[in-house]
């Protein structure tokens, strides 16, 4: 394991921007931008939000480097990942699901199970399927497709049929949403992908549908579990870098400038090389790195926009800063049922076994949840999540 030879920030640096706070959580010269013929490294990112670990992939070189958010620890080199072209990786059990604008990979350890090359906007969402998972996407014409972690391809009719089988209530909500959008016939004919309140398609098709594009670039759209869409556009000093967030209603709810918060983005002139990747968690937390020629910066933006996301709140816990104020304000607005669900979401992160039928049914449908036969006594919560539990219980006692 390599020691960090440069760890500039002894505490997380925070930069408030409107309703978001951009946090620089790590900086190191042990990871730098490299090129070899047409390839570059690093490229690709995975985040274990429960354990607060960020894995920065080596791109077309095998392996990765793992860091821990907010701690002055060693960088851990890992060699259990085979190079596959993906800007973002989602790790589900033993599977790595890699996504970029035109490419989706399913791999287990170093074995590539399938490669999808007919997508134009990346991964739409992931559901459970059997003992594995099923990944939904659309092709360049916006037609729904899916691939499972066994490598099996689902054409549009079968892909939409599985949505109804998986969650009939949400499927009916999707039918209603498709009707509101004027897409009912196309949804019934399995020609468009609507799930929950979100219409998933390519940037070009969404631009035509909404009349103007809510997004800022063509290519990959990352989504959280609520169906909010995310894009980042990174440039050096001459051209500005932006984060774009789009609601399920197709409205651009935020566009945030990123240039001023990165030493690399704000100083690199034309000709300087750097690489970036962004990861959006199931609850909408955003993580990204910027790897320059001398060092790499890593950033986090915790979810505070749109409807409160209970998964994101459980992940983030309570911290005594601007995010903590958001938590306090949000808890005061949640219903008693929502407070109960948030409290149990914290336990669900660690594989708690639910005896209550309604909670069991709810969490069994959450793609991030695995029943590991855990009880409360099996868990040792980190302080920020323990503090959240205490605040939730105090709020519940008032109701």
Spans of all domains in the chain: 23-301, 310-398
The reported pLDDT for the residue numbered 2 is 32
DSSP-derived 3-state class of residue 95: strand
Q: In this model, does residue 342 exceed pLDDT 80?
A: yes
Q: In this model, does residue 193 exceed pLDDT 50?
A: yes
Beta-bridge partners for 45:
56, 88
Q: In this model, does residue 254 exceed pLDDT 70?
A: yes
Q: In this model, does residue 105 exceed pLDDT 60?
A: yes
Q: CA-to-CA distance for 133 and 235, rounded, in angstroms?
A: 35
Q: Alpha-carbon torsion 314, 54, 242, 268, what sign?
A: positive
Least confident of 109-113, 336-340, 383-387: 109-113
pLDDT in tens, 175-185: 999 999 999 99
Confidence band, pLDDT 50/70/90 cuts, at residue 352? very high
Percent of the chain with pLDDT over 90: 70
Topology of domain 310-398, CATH: Methane Monooxygenase Hydroxylase; Chain G, domain 1 (1.20.58)
Least confident of 55-64, 197-206, 210-219, 349-358: 55-64
Give this prediction's pTM.
Answer: 0.92
Average pLDDT, the chain: 90
Confidence band, pLDDT 50/70/90 cuts, at residue 17? very low
Confidence band, pLDDT 50/70/90 cuts, at residue 266? confident
Q: CA-to-CA distance for 26 and 67, rounded, in angstroms?
A: 8
Confidence band, pLDDT 50/70/90 cuts, at residue 143? very high
Average pLDDT over residues 188-208: 98
The reported pLDDT for the residue numbered 86 is 77
Q: CA-to-CA distance for 246 and 223, rounded, in angstroms?
A: 9
Q: CA-to-CA distance for 66 and 89, rounded, in angstroms?
A: 13
More confident site: 196 or 218: 196
The reported pLDDT for the residue numbered 347 is 98
Separation in Å, CA 132 to CA 12, 63, 83, 106? 36, 24, 22, 11
CA atoms within 13 A on the CB side of 296: 29
């Amino acid at each position: 394991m390599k020691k960090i030879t440069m760890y500039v920030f002894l505490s997380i640096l925070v930069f408030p921007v409107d309703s978001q706070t951009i946090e620089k959580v790590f900086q190191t010269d042990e990871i730098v931008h490299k090129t070899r013929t047409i390839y570059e490294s690093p490229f690709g990112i995975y985040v274990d939000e429960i354990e607060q670990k960020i894995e920065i992939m080596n791109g077309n070189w095998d392996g990765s480097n793992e860091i821990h958010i907010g701690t002055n620890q060693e960088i851990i080199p890992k060699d259990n990942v085979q190079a596959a072209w993906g800007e973002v990786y989602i790790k589900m059990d033993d599977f790595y699901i890699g996504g970029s604008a035109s490419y989706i990979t399913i791999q287990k350890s170093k074995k590539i199970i399938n490669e999808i090359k007919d997508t134009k906007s990346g991964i739409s969402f992931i559901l459970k399927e059997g003992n594995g998972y099923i990944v939904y996407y659309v092709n360049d014409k916006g037609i729904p497709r899916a691939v499972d972690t066994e490598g099996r391809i689902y054409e549009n009719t079968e892909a939409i049929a599985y949505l109804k089988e998986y969650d009939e209530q949400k499927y009916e909500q999707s039918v209603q949403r498709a009707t509101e959008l004027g897409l009912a016939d196309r949804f019934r004919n399995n020609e468009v992908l609507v799930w929950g309140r979100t219409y998933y398609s390519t940037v070009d098709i969404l631009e035509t549908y909404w009349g103007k594009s809510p997004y800022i670039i063509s290519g990959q759209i990352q989504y959280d579990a609520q169906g909010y869409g995310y894009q980042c556009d990174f440039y050096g000093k001459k051209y500005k870098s932006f984060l774009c967030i789009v609601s399920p209603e197709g409205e651009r709810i935020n566009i945030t400038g990123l240039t001023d918060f990165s030493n690399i983005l704000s100083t690199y002139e034309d000709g300087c090389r750097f690489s970036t990747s962004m990861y959006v968690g199931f609850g909408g937390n955003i993580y990204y790195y910027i790897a320059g020629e001398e060092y790499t910066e890593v950033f986090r933006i915790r979810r505070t926009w749109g409807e409160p996301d209970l998964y994101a709140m459980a992940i983030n816990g309570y911290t005594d800063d601007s995010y903590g104020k958001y938590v306090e304000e949000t808890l005061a607005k949640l219903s008693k049922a929502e407070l109960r669900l948030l409290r149990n979401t914290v336990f669900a992160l660690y594989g708690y076994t639910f005896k209550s039928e309604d909670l069991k049914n709810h969490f069994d449908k959450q793609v991030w949840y695995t029943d590991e036969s855990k009880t409360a006594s099996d868990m040792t919560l980190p302080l920020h999540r323990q503090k959240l539990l205490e605040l939730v219980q105090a709020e519940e006692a008032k109701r």
